[in-house]
Structure 1
């Protein structure tokens, strides 16, 4: 399988040098499919035109920050009084 990947990489580099970037993209996607476990025949038949690459920092520990979506009409609750919050009345 390494020889198939090496052949695809050679063809991808040659396509990029010819500035045939569409062919280079298709070959890159086929390389990724073969590395992921697909056979070279399955990778050749796969339609990768709708796939998009993951953006850097979109996954991983500490790199993905969720953006909360506030529902319409929601208001921020009032802050608790720091002098009385968290305290219980003393028992005698």
Structure 2
């Protein structure tokens, strides 16, 4: 199995708003390279691109809080088991 395949097989991305959770991809249905996603739920939206070059995975994108409800829009990325990174946009109109 190539390094890219192992990396992509472990990709887990999800977007969450307050108590709500939207699962976009899981290790069992890992994305392939290249992939673009633009999930949207009440109170937030996100967009990201997965690209691969020479065995490395690159993720670029943004998360946007779209509702003045005192909750944050959150995207969590776990390209390797246990290395979760979280990106938050807090406050309506905020994009990170």
* TM superposition score category, shorter chain reference: under 0.3
**Higher helix fraction (1 or 2):** 1
Q: Rg: which structure is higher?
A: 1
- TM-score normalised to the size of structure 2? 0.23
- TM-score normalised to the size of structure 1? 0.23
